[in-house]
Structure formats: structure tokens, C-alpha cells
Structure 1
């Protein structure tokens, strides 16, 4: 799997890049690709978001085609957009579960115990949410993806009801461990875990 590190980049620009990469992946012009980025402050609304989910927007808001509800992106948060051809190897639920596993194993490397929460997407640490997921698929190719709170300023979540929850549910690696983390180290670990990404389906474990 290829990886692209965009550093800090405007949301709309990366959104367009995803669409271009998806088109290229559909035509088999590029291999599976993981885009990693931090965004300036922005709110995105998924297909299940409601008007009341955005409480007090003071930053740009984009309505996009991913699943899920509303979330915030900003500096200190690692956002990943896997452009992966699933074919008919696994369904969306299988894929989402695999993304969660990548993030759980990444957090484990930094001595943080992430878990899944019954009935909810994303990754949790006890009763706090540390990573959000929302994906879209076009002709069996995935885009959009995950947001992992590393050194995120959590006060910005007060502008929204993140994924239908109160903003107080959100946490970050920095908050949990009382220290800042190197974004480059977190990126490297995420890439390493993606190299071992497997999809869990009813027919067994399938390597991407």
C-alpha cells in the first residue's frame, strides 16, 4: 500500500484529491493508497447528520458523502483517507471493523487501550471516544476514513454534537497520557499497521 503525507492541508483541497485518487484506483492506475493529513479547523457533516448537530459553527462546514453524522477536524488530529479496492472480498462493516483494529493496535503501541463500543463506530477508551470513522464507497473503492485525536484541542468539539454524542465524550492521546505526541511517530505507526491490514469477513481473514 502506498502512503501520502500531506502535512497540514485545507479540507476542500484534500476532498477533491480523494475523488481523483478514487477514479484512478477504479481504473487500476494506482495501488491502494493511504492519505494522511491534518486539516485547519473544519466541520464535516455526513449523510446521517442533522441540522441540530452543529451547535455553534465558527469554522467552515462541509456536507459530504461519507456515512455517519457530524465531526470536527483540526490541527493535532491525524486524519486518514484509505483509498482501497475492496472488490467483493468484504462488506463495509468488515472494512470498518478492520479500520478500528488498525487504530486500536496503533494506540496499543503508545500504551493506550482502545476498544470498540457495542452499537457505535469508532474507537473508545473506557467511556471516551478517541477516534471517529466515516467512509464512502464508489465502485468497490473506499474513501473518507478516520480521525484520530492525537494532540487535538478538544474545545472545538463544543461547536457540534460529535457523531450524535455530547461534546464531552471526546478525548485525545494527549489528554489521556498528559503529554504531547510526535505526529510523525503516530503516522509511522498507523502506516505500519495498515501494511498488515486484513479484512474480517464471514469467509475468514482476507489480506487486502
Structure 2
């Protein structure tokens, strides 16, 4: 494996949305300024949080502020693409902070690769995930199991740097999606691995599964993604 395709995997555990956002945006700034070349994936689980993307609207949040406060759900406006989505316990969120020259500097290809990561991870347990052309993410039938929303900014060289990423519903409380119009799509549903398989999932196993799938998709020679176990404490 060439050096430019090495990727470090940083497990943040459960962390507030704002703290994880600060970690990934700091790393993105390092890449944009040429202070660092490290390709990094941050894996995290958030407490209940609704985020509104750049093409979103607060009209797609169906619950009032008092109800959200009583439920302990935070609301954040963020600079990723996409509309409204939900993060919460039982959901693995991956924030790949990458410079994209090793992958053709192609944002469309990058999004398809993220979808492929999830499709391969789901296939390991017998779930067939699909793409829907007009809606980024991964679907099972008419239900979304994984949301994708990314932000890309250019280095002075023209190379893209990515942040934000994907959110896979593993054991997520799907009732919380009733608080929003997920991704602004009113005529489709949301699902989870737990619902699809009919049983609660060993959550930590799904991080390992996603990591292996990320490796298979992004590192063509199949070498292991570098795991930086001590990076989490440093990143905090």
C-alpha cells in the first residue's frame, strides 16, 4: 500500500455532536492549510441530535422546541450537504476527513464509495442495500438505513478535502425520526439493522464491520486501515 492511501481510524466513542464537529473541522483545516496529510476517519456515536444541512429547512423539524428540550434532543445547523437528519444512540457515524487526490479528486465518486462501504457492511449480514439515484444514502426497499451528507472544500492546489460523512442506523430509536421529515423526503421511510434483522445488534461489531468495509473500498490492495487507538484521547 502506498503511503498516500494509508488511513487512520479514530474511535471517539459516544461524544456530543459539537465536540466531534470541532475535532473533524480542526483536522479538515490542517489538511486545507497543508499542515497535515493524514487521511483520517472518525467513528462516533452521538446523543440525540437533529442537524439541518445547507439545503435544509427548519420547517422539516416537526416537533416544537419545548418538546425537543424535554426529550433532550439538541438541534444544530451545519455546513454539510443535504437536509434534516437525526443522530442518536445506536447509530454509527463516520466522519472521513480526507484529501481526495488518491481517489480521483471526484466528489461524486467519493459519495458512491461511501455508499459502497455501507452496502458491503450490510451484505455481511445478508441485507441488500441499494442506491436511489436522486437520493444519496443507502436504502432497503423504500426505507433509508444510512444517510450521507458531506462537505468538500478545495485546497489552493484544487484538491478537495472532505468532512462530515455517513450515519448508519444500527440499533437507533426509529421513533425519533418522527420528529423530522428525514432528509426532507416525506414519501419514504427510515429503518435500522435491528429492525431488518429482528434483533438488537452488538453495536461494537458494527464499527469493526464498517472499518473492514471502508478498507475494502478505499484501499484497493486490501491492507488494513491503520487503527490509532490513542488518537481519540489526543483528539479530544
Query: Do Structure 1 and Structure 2 share a fold, with TM-score over 0.5?
Result: yes
Change beyond 3 A, Cα 1:194–1:28: farther
CA RMSD between the two structures: 1.6
Task: List structure 1 runs of 4+ shifted beyond 3 angstroms.
Answer: none
Deviation at 1:121, TM superposition (A): 0.8
Question: Is the contact made by 1:128 and 1:171 (CA closer than 8 Å) also made in structure 2?
Answer: yes
Q: Distance in 1 between matches of 2:217 and 2:31?
A: 18
Partner of 1:39: 46
Structure 1 segments unaligned to the other structure (5+ residues): 200-208
Q: Partners in 2 of 1:168 and 1:94 — Cα distance?
A: 25
Query: How far does residue 31 in structure 1 lie from its aligned partner after superposition?
Result: 1.6
CA contact (8 A) 1:133 1:146 kept: yes
* CA-to-aligned-CA distance 1:4-45 (integer Å, 9 cap, x gap): 111110000001111111122332524211100000000000
CA distance in 2, matches of 1:111, 1:25: 37
Structure 2 CA distance for partners of 1:167 and 1:182, relative to 1, 3 Å: farther
User: Secondary structure in 1 aligned to 2:132?
Assistant: coil
**Contact 1:158/1:167 (8 A) holds in 2:** no
Q: How does 1:55-70 map to 2 (within 5 A)?
A: 55-57=62-64, 58=68, 59-70=73-84
Q: What's the offset of the Cα at 1:91?
A: 2.0
Query: Is 148-157 or 179-188 further displaced after alignment?
Result: 179-188
1:121 aligns with 2:128: no
What does residue 17 of structure 1 align with?
Answer: 23
Aligned partner of 1:204 in structure 2 is none
Does the residue aligned with 1:116 lie in a helix, a strand or coil?
Answer: strand
Could you tell which deviates more after superposition, 106-115 or 28-37? Answer: 28-37
Q: Is the 8 A contact 2:142 2:188 kept in 1?
A: no
> Cα offset for 1:168?
6.4
- Following TM superposition, by how much is the alpha carbon of 1:65 offset from its aligned partner in structure 2, in angstroms? 0.5
Write the deviation string for residues 33-70 of structure 1: whole angstroms up to 9, x where unpaired. Answer: 11000000000000111121111051211111000000
Alignment coverage as a number of residue pairs: 199
TM-score, scaled to structure 2:
0.80
| Unaligned 5+ runs, structure 2 | 1-6, 155-159, 220-236
Q: CA separation of 1:109/1:28 partners in 2, compared to 1, >3 Å: closer, same or farther?
A: farther
Whether 2:197 is the aligned partner of 1:197: answer: no
1:80 has 2:83 as partner:
no
Give per-residue Cα distances to partners, 1:156-195, cap 9 Å, x unaligned. 0111001112386000000011111112111111111112
Contact 2:52 2:58 in 1 (8 A): no
